[in-house]
Structure 1
Amino acid sequence: MTYAAAFGPDTPTQRLATGLRAVAVIAHRDLLRQVIRPGMLVSQAVQVLFFVLVYAVGFDGMIGSVRPGVPFSAYVFPGLIAIQVVSVGIASGQTYAWDREYGVLRELLVAPVPRMCLPLGKVVAGAGAVTAQSVLMLSFSPLAGVPLTPSGFVAAAACYALSAAVFSVIGLCLATLIRRVQTLQAAVQLAMFPLLFLSGSVFAPEDAPGWLAAVMHLNPMTYAVDLARQSLLGGPRILPWWADLGALGAVLALALTLLRLRSGR
């Protein structure tokens, strides 16, 4: 009996189907793990709702309009959702690290499927869960003074889905580069501060000093926030929407390349 007959398919179509099935199984496993532990999801949602109601709405009376006709709460609302998307996406790599720590990764890697199936399954699970959260949070847009249209809702949801995929892949790349779980957790916490605060999520980057604006252009989250803000509020901000989309696509391609080289390690 040949290896292909014993352990796996021998045609490209069958290999693709097996790979997609493996990705779906791994994503289903991770989603079930999140469903049976809803406390984390609820705490994350409450945290974002707190930011919206207290931080954004509370500062409206002090700051007023950031741009003509755009209150502060409406301006920062897309960035607050982006904070949730990026935080959960980057942290999703820790599930990969824990699977490696407890030997689950070793068992999964002996399956006759491409090694990329495991991280891709985790990307699908993490990005799917956080996209669902962002869609739910978008329904609260009127509370922050954001006019929600069907086209804006769909565009913003697609933007957050892309951002969730990008930062989930980045989180998995960190998990493949850093072996120790405790060190990975510290690295994730360290990475979150520049990502969140140098993205323009809670202030207008157009008004930042030149040197700070240059640093912000190196932050991939800047483009996610800018694209989401254009989707919900309209008008060009830092860059045109197609430039933001191209920047996120380039970051995703680079992260996937690194993940492909590091998968299974």
Structure 2
Amino acid sequence: MSTGLLPAVADSAGARSASGARAVAVIAHRDLLRQLKRPGVLFSQAVQIVFFVLVYAVGFDGMIGAVRPGVPFSAYVFPGIIAIQVVSIGVASGQTYAWDREYGVLRELLVAPVPRICLPLGKVVAGAGTVTVQSMLMLAFAPLAGVPMTPRRFCLAAGCYALSAAVFSVLGLCLATLIKRVQTLQATVQLAMFPMLFLSGSVFSPEDAPGWLSAAMHLNPMTYAVDLARQSLLGGPGLLPWWGDLAALAGVLVPALGLLRLRSGR
């Protein structure tokens, strides 16, 4: 290739990247507007998490006591309770993709001259952004659960939940590209969520579980999201070092993105 063609190739690649970024932003904006038009859903999600914090976590404090020295049960489970909300909404976000496909909206969006991966990525940005903001609001209740909050811990926890939201939103969209029928997708999401949530270490540690149950928890990607958030908010040792939790989540995210790219291009 002659040197005179290099600037043209670079300009063309830059134009495609800019076009793809605009497409992601437009789709994310569309999904965010759709969520804002349903304030009742956002309110019900907020009430659910407040209920868990005030009733479940704080209510069990007197029965269970400290899980670690100086760490009450409510503080121990607080990071996991937020992670439950983050992962639940993230995985369920793939259903919006399925509904768009069901009603023909997806077909109209795919005629745009942009890479097809832009559509699911826009939904990931919208879903992860919404859940991250929700998790930041939930962190305001940390003192009620006995979690000492500092600006550093707040920022670290918000980053952990943002990463978790992105990872599980991508997983939800992968399911939506693999399962065509909306009803089947909803049933599959419900079937996958219960073991994922309860085998994540959100309310008890894998070290305290029987061997076979601990092994199942180590295979659950949500376990590492909970462990990372717990280390960010409470400090102390975790199931893995923080970089190990990051590596585990990255090990899930990278192949999931590859599958999403493969499926969305079909």
Pairwise same-fold verdict (TM > 0.5)? yes
Deviations along 1:211-245, one digit per CA (max 9) or x if unpaired, are: 11111111000000000000000011111100000
The alignment partner of 1:66 has SS state of: strand
1:72 CA drift (Å): 0.2
Letter in 1 for 2:191: L
Whole-angstrom distance in 1 between the partners of 2:32 and 2:161: 18
Contact 1:175–1:184 at 8 Å: present in 2 too?
Answer: yes
In the alignment, which residue of structure 1 is the partner of 2:162? 161
Letter in 2 for 1:151: R
In the alignment, which residue of structure 1 is the partner of 2:186? 185
In the alignment, which residue of structure 1 is the partner of 2:6? none
In the alignment, which residue of structure 1 is the partner of 2:56? 55
Unmatched runs of 5 consecutive residues or more in structure 1: 1-8
Letter in 2 for 1:172: L
Whole-angstrom distance in 2 between the partners of 1:242 and 1:38: 37
Are positions 1:42 and 2:43 aligned together? yes
Contact 1:56–1:72 at 8 Å: present in 2 too?
Answer: yes
Whole-angstrom distance in 2 between the partners of 1:10 and 1:34: 36
The alignment partner of 1:11 has SS state of: helix
Deviations along 1:68-108, one digit per CA (max 9) or x if unpaired, are: 10000000000000000000000000000000000000011
Letter in 1 for 2:22: R
1:206 CA drift (Å): 1.5
Q: CA RMSD in A?
A: 1.1
Whole-angstrom distance in 2 between the partners of 1:43 and 1:90: 18
Whole-angstrom distance in 2 between the partners of 1:10 and 1:186: 46
In the alignment, which residue of structure 2 is the partner of 1:148? 149
Aligned residues: 257
Contact 1:109–1:264 at 8 Å: present in 2 too?
Answer: no
Whole-angstrom distance in 1 between the partners of 2:265 and 2:14: 23
In the alignment, which residue of structure 1 is the partner of 2:102? 101
The alignment partner of 1:203 has SS state of: coil
Q: Give the alignment's TM-score, normalised by structure 1.
A: 0.96
1:10 CA drift (Å): 7.4
1:264 CA drift (Å): 4.6
Unmatched runs of 5 consecutive residues or more in structure 2: 1-9
In the alignment, which residue of structure 2 is the partner of 1:236? 237
1:205 CA drift (Å): 1.8
The alignment partner of 1:159 has SS state of: helix
In the alignment, which residue of structure 2 is the partner of 1:196? 197
The alignment partner of 2:240 has SS state of: coil
In the alignment, which residue of structure 2 is the partner of 1:3? none
Poorly superposed stretches of 4+, deviation over 6 Å: none
1:203 CA drift (Å): 1.1
In the alignment, which residue of structure 2 is the partner of 1:31? 32
In the alignment, which residue of structure 2 is the partner of 1:172? 173
The alignment partner of 1:200 has SS state of: coil
